[in-house]
Structure 1
Amino acid sequence: MDTLNLPAPIAAYFAADPETETLARCFTAQAVLKDEGHSYTGVRAIQAFLADASAKYNATTVPFALEQEDGFHRVRATVTGNFPGSPIVLSYRFRLEGALIASLEITA
């Protein structure tokens, strides 16, 4: 099985538990996450949203593809959990600033 060579902050994001400080260290202070029609700005708001989603859906995410486009890194991943339509393939569009995530948009 091939392994993806994800940039360090993206690999850390997928490895982190949403309720830990490890996740908080993946993002810039003013990072923006967009998911399910909502935007979350700042590390604490992002962390709270991800922890809530984790508790609600008990999801596991397995990245399987990475491509770069217009300064963004797009990761496709299979997400399995307690939600209708599981499993589903989602797209994670990251913009990095140095060694941190500045923005993340999650779409189906």
Structure 2
Amino acid sequence: MSTLNLPQPIAAYFTADQKTPEALARCFTAHAVVKDEGHTHTGLEAIQAWKAAATTKYTYTTVPFALEREADMQVVRAHVAGNFPGSPVDLRYRFRLERGLIASLEISV
């Protein structure tokens, strides 16, 4: 991650991803939306629960390796490896930022 110059909220997200669900939720706006694995999680409580469930179910590492801009989105490509089906995989994280926080995130292959 140190070789990429990620915007601060996105860098904070990837740092928090390796910590607690509470730390990760602090990266988002109050009404943020996360879309992952066909589910939508809206609001800090739902985002925190999503992260807690993923952490309980799987152990994984995420290494961002590319950053692109698509309209009003920041798209990070990251290598994710762990004990989940299909590991390892390169994922796309589409972030929309708002006032120094993440307003939306969509994770896809």
- Normalised by the length of structure 1, the TM-score is 0.93
Residue aligning to 2:27: 26
Instruction: Give 1:13's aligned residue.
Output: 13
Q: How well do the aligned residues superpose, as a CA RMSD in angstroms? A: 1.4
Code of the residue aligned with 1:40 in structure 2: it is: H
After TM superposition, the structure 1 = structure 2 runs for residues 29-48 of structure 1, keeping only pairs within 5 Å, are: 29-48=30-49
Matched residue SS, 2:87: coil
Shift of 1:68: 0.7
Identity percentage over the alignment?
Answer: 66
Cα distance in structure 2, aligned partners of 1:24 and 1:47: 5
In 2, the alpha carbon distance for the partners of 1:64 and 1:83 equals: 20
2:51 pairs with 1:50 = yes
Per the normalisation by structure 2, the TM-score is 0.92
Aligned length: 107
- 1:106 is paired with a residue whose SS is strand
> What is the 5 A alignment of 1:1-108?
3-16=3-16, 17-20=19-22, 22-108=23-109
- CA distance in 2: counterparts of 1:35 and 1:48, whole angstroms: 13
1:40-83 per-position Cα deviation (integer Å, ceiling 9, x unaligned) = 00011011101211221111100000001101000000000111
Structure 2 gaps of 5+ residues are none
